[in-house]
Amino acid sequence: MSYIAITISAPSEIKDILIAQLADVGYEGFEEAGEQLIAYIPTEQFDENTIAGMLGSHGLDYTKETIEQANWNAVWESNFQPVLVGSFCGIRAGFHDPLAGQVEHEIVITPKMSFGTGHHATTYSVIRLMEEIDFKGKRVFDFGTGTGILAILAGKLGAAETDAIDNDSWAVDNALENAVTNNATTVRIWQEDQLDVLETGSYDIVLANINRNILLANMANMKRILKNHGILILSGILQEDEPAIVKAAGENGLALEKKAEKEHWLALSFKAS
């Protein structure tokens, strides 16, 4: 599989908006480097008119390049630095030195074109909320797992079982590799994009770090698969999207309990009635 990487020079105040809009049309990974935003999309999904129209509305232009699968490691290795979420969790690549003594939980990730290294504010904020939850002995579901980072962390926190899905085969393969690397033996990962195949009341905790539209479209099913008094953590939410998400959650019997915020992005924790 090859990917298109587009590079956009954009003011920092609109980068978050661009990421949300790009994610909605299929872009799967993002890097921020100074005033530049780099976004990745599978070559077969790239549409010149869509991106030109979207960026044109902001008065922006872009450059693009094709990245073959074989070249992806060189791209991310040149940019990927370890991420520390306080002293709670550290995310590093296999070529970094271990984080022993710096954090309680260490995760080794190779993000082969999959979203979720802890660098983006959404993943970071979900991890912050996970720190405050007791996962021991719980059944967990990770919707849109990407690299598998949140499912792997749930396992490290003592979850009895963690199921994780993604609609992209490349992401699923990557997540499975990362699970093996981290000895995440209680994590199951498979390709799927529908929640209605899952049993009602199956999970104590549901995690979904995706985007506003997918969260809204799947709110009822996320509530359905939660046990009574279960916890739902949502992210991929811009500050301005909070009212719509909270309203939809409330209409489905989910009460907002906590939130974490970073760089205009939110992670919200709800409890099911």
pLDDT of residue 98: 94
Q: Confirm whether 19 is domain-assigned.
A: yes
Same domain for 137 and 65? no
pLDDT score of 106 more than 90: yes
Q: Confirm whether 152 is domain-assigned.
A: yes
Based on the structure, what is the number of domains in the chain? 2
Separation CA 46–CA 4 (nearest Å): 7
Query: What does the pLDDT look like over 149-188, one tens digit per residue?
Result: 999 999 999 999 999 999 888 789 989 999 999 999 999 9
CATH number at residue 54: 3.30.70.980
Domain termination site, one of 44, 77, 110: 77
Structure-block tokens of residue 55: 């960026």
> Of the ranges 31-40, 151-160, 252-261, which one carries the lowest mean pLDDT score?
31-40
* Full residue range of the structural domain in which residue 261 is found: 121-272
> Of the ranges 31-40, 155-164, 223-232, which one carries the lowest mean pLDDT score?
31-40
Please give the angle made by the CA atoms of 183, 186 and 192, to the nearest 5 degrees. Answer: 105
Query: What does the pLDDT look like over 60-99, one tens digit per residue?
Result: 999 998 877 655 566 666 667 889 999 999 999 888 899 9
Structure-block tokens of residue 225: 């698969």
Same domain for 148 and 268? yes
Q: What is the mean pLDDT of the chain?
A: 90
Same domain for 267 and 146? yes
> Of the ranges 36-40, 154-158, 238-242, which one carries the lowest mean pLDDT score?
36-40
